[in-house]
Structure 1
Amino acid sequence: MSQRLINYLVFLLLSLTWGSSFILMKIGLKSYSSTQVASIRLIAAGITLLPFFIIYIKKTPTAKIPIIILSGLLGNGFPAFLFCLAETRIDSSLAGILNSLTPLFALITGILIFHAPLVKQQLWGICIGLVGVVGLFAVKGISSNNDWHYGLLVVAATICYGLNISLVHHYLKGFSSLQLGSISLFFMAIFSIPVLASSDIVERFQEAPNAWSSLGASALLGIMGTGVASVLFYQLIQRAGGMMASMVTYALPVVAIGWGALAGEIVSPGQILCMLIILAGVYLANRSKMKQSQVTAKTTKAA
């Protein structure tokens, strides 16, 4: 089997794994509360990567641990609870579409907080992406007139993702994704244990009709959607480069919409159009960033 084919298979598996996270949350929420599903997810992910934690914690400078914990809160902790709470009121497909905002917020936080240079094309990309978001909320509000505003929790989660990407880029360079993921998720699991223990998880497990399937979905969400996915993402970056890895952003909402449609969720043409507008903005911003990286690389090589 060729290396290129293996890269595409890893890309496909990663897209399916991450894209399926949104419907797994919905299944988990059939029997458990949003905080319980999020806690189970983080605990399962921490256990999955525990062998790597044991290896890497000894090699990690003590001064970096607080930053890695902050990275865990922004990249996994807060978003896990925000996504689950949002999906108590909105469709998993809408959550998957809004998740594609992450690259734009990574760019925005990099500019506002870390004073990264801004290119005109990136600004256009941000504006186009935000227009898509406004349109998406308008379409969802018109079609449902219910709790579409819970989608703002997903937007808040993508802002956390964006902050985390900028944080890792500026303060945690040189650490592998496995190292950061295993250490941060270990602490997220530790933080989640008392949250889960103080809830009515035992009563729900004994009384809810779909307790086992919801528990399985929540655990699978942590094992695959958080634990294994981080390993696959690291492998894809190592094998095919960051550009191909970033393309996962475009595949996730498609997978999420597919699962949502199979689950009976209504996905309107207007939502599809707004998703395409958001992805066009992401592409425009990423394309400009890629060109900057290529210019920098050529300049370095020439020097």
Structure 2
Amino acid sequence: MAIVERATVRSGIEVRSAGGVLVAGLALIWGSNFLWIKVALGAFSPVQLTVARMVLGALVLLVVVAVRRERLPRGVGVWGHLVVAALVANAVPYLLFAVGETRVDSGVAGALNATTPLWTLLFGRVRLAGRRVAGLVLGFGGALAIFAPWSAGAIDTLGALYCLLAAVSYGLSYQYLSRFLAPRDLSPTVLSAGQLVAASGLTALALPLDTAGVPGWAPGPWAALAVLGVVGTGLAFVVNYALIRSEGAVGASVVTYLVPVASVGLGFVVLGETLPAWTVAGVAGVLAGVWLSRSRRLGE
């Protein structure tokens, strides 16, 4: 019995460790996405940017699926769920964030993105222990402290609303993916590829309505688009599906709390940006909130 108990504890530690690695990796990838979006908007319209990153992400994953000799789903029911998932997890929030960042700073967009776990919790209507709820609230407060959007001067209300609605859509998507797609006997790569193929088709429908001209050539925006599509969209969604399977909807969504931590950390290490006292306090709050919200003793 003691051997079984030790094996069970060891297994639980390994699962938590793997989940932690996925959370950290995805936070690092997504933490830079708002920067790539801002840079890419220098040459692309929001619609062009959204379509291009979807297509790039889909192409990368289709190549991976082919190399691994896997197949895309064939059932009509699965594709129906993939289309809905593509709408709420990709097409709608990606476009809203791109439009929003034409009016607000990337920091404000990142802070509003940090409301995602709260929306995930609301849509899930699940019972959580008090400590886990406290962790979600603490993490959100820490994310706000990191970006301190109130110190950036007047914030464009409409731009902020676009970003907030994108976070709402993300929250809904976590619950939808967790319920209808993640439990299926399909690899995260196959599910991600199918979803991004569907998202590419959905967003392409908006191209005839876009009044922007042909994107101009500038190395910065095109490089930012390449990173955003290949890494920040394609590879990131494979990790996202794996995380939802191992952590559940609410547990996986707390990665958005670490996104500002990654963003601020990259700015400090790469760009030599300063770290005000409230930013350091915000990082501490985020880490404490994530620890509370991910505690296995608290249940889902």
Check the 8 A contact 1:35/1:81 in 2, yes or no: yes
CA separation in 1, counterparts of 2:275 and 2:214? 35
Q: Aligned letter for 1:75?
A: A
TM superposition score normalised by structure 1: 0.72
TM superposition score normalised by structure 2: 0.73
Check the 8 A contact 2:117/2:254 in 1, yes or no: no
Query: What secondary structure sits across from 1:56 in the alignment?
Result: coil
Q: Aligned letter for 1:221?
A: L
Q: Aligned letter for 1:79?
A: P
In the alignment, which residue of structure 2 is the partner of 1:30? 42
Q: Aligned letter for 1:176?
A: S
After the TM superposition, which of the residue ranges 226-235 and 125-134 deviates more from structure 2? 125-134
- Deviation of residue 127 (structure 1)? 4.3
- Deviation of residue 121 (structure 1)? 2.9
In the alignment, which residue of structure 1 is the partner of 2:226? 219
CA separation in 2, counterparts of 1:76 and 1:118? 28
TM-superposition CA deviations, 1:196-224 (whole Å, max 9, x none): 4553565332xxxx534312312321111
Q: Aligned letter for 2:117?
A: P
Q: Aligned letter for 2:92?
A: F
Q: Aligned letter for 2:228?
A: L
In the alignment, which residue of structure 2 is the partner of 1:286? 294
CA separation in 1, counterparts of 2:273 and 2:97? 17
CA 258–152 in structure 1, closer or farther in 2 if over 3 Å, else same: farther
CA separation in 2, counterparts of 1:61 and 1:213? 41
Check the 8 A contact 1:42/1:188 in 2, yes or no: yes
CA separation in 1, counterparts of 2:33 and 2:70? 27
In the alignment, which residue of structure 1 is the partner of 2:124? 110
Check the 8 A contact 2:57/2:229 in 1, yes or no: yes
Q: Aligned letter for 1:191?
A: L
Aligned to 2:204, which of 174, 193, 196? 193
In the alignment, which residue of structure 2 is the partner of 1:159? 168
Check the 8 A contact 1:24/1:218 in 2, yes or no: yes
Aligned to 2:29, which of 17, 29, 43? 17
TM-superposition CA deviations, 1:279-303 (whole Å, max 9, x none): 644543333xx22449xxxxxxxxx
Aligned pairs, how many?
Answer: 277
- Deviation of residue 98 (structure 1)? 3.5
CA 106–283 in structure 1, closer or farther in 2 if over 3 Å, else same: farther
CA 108–266 in structure 1, closer or farther in 2 if over 3 Å, else same: farther
CA 279–152 in structure 1, closer or farther in 2 if over 3 Å, else same: farther
- Deviation of residue 136 (structure 1)? 7.7
In the alignment, which residue of structure 1 is the partner of 2:235? 228
Check the 8 A contact 2:114/2:140 in 1, yes or no: no
Check the 8 A contact 2:140/2:286 in 1, yes or no: yes
User: Which structure shows the bigger proportion of residues in helix conformation?
Assistant: 1
Check the 8 A contact 2:142/2:286 in 1, yes or no: yes
In the alignment, which residue of structure 2 is the partner of 1:121? 131
Check the 8 A contact 1:93/1:265 in 2, yes or no: no
- Deviation of residue 87 (structure 1)? 1.7
CA separation in 2, counterparts of 1:62 and 1:177? 19
CA 110–78 in structure 1, closer or farther in 2 if over 3 Å, else same: same
CA 235–133 in structure 1, closer or farther in 2 if over 3 Å, else same: closer
- Deviation of residue 77 (structure 1)? 1.4
Check the 8 A contact 1:31/1:211 in 2, yes or no: yes
Structure 1 runs not aligned, ≥5 long: 295-303
In the alignment, which residue of structure 2 is the partner of 1:301? none
Q: Aligned letter for 1:49?
A: L
Check the 8 A contact 1:43/1:189 in 2, yes or no: yes
- Deviation of residue 189 (structure 1)? 0.9
In the alignment, which residue of structure 1 is the partner of 2:194? 183
- Deviation of residue 178 (structure 1)? 1.7
How do residues 269-280 of structure 1 correspond to structure 2 at under 5 angstroms? 269-270=277-278, 273-274=281-282, 276-277=284-285, 280=288
Quick one: percent identity of the two aligned structures?
28
- Deviation of residue 140 (structure 1)? 2.3
After the TM superposition, which of the residue ranges 144-153 and 28-37 deviates more from structure 2? 144-153
In the alignment, which residue of structure 2 is the partner of 1:298? none
- Deviation of residue 269 (structure 1)? 4.4
Structure 2 runs not aligned, ≥5 long: 1-13
CA RMSD in angstroms, aligned pairs only: 3.9
In the alignment, which residue of structure 1 is the partner of 2:6? none
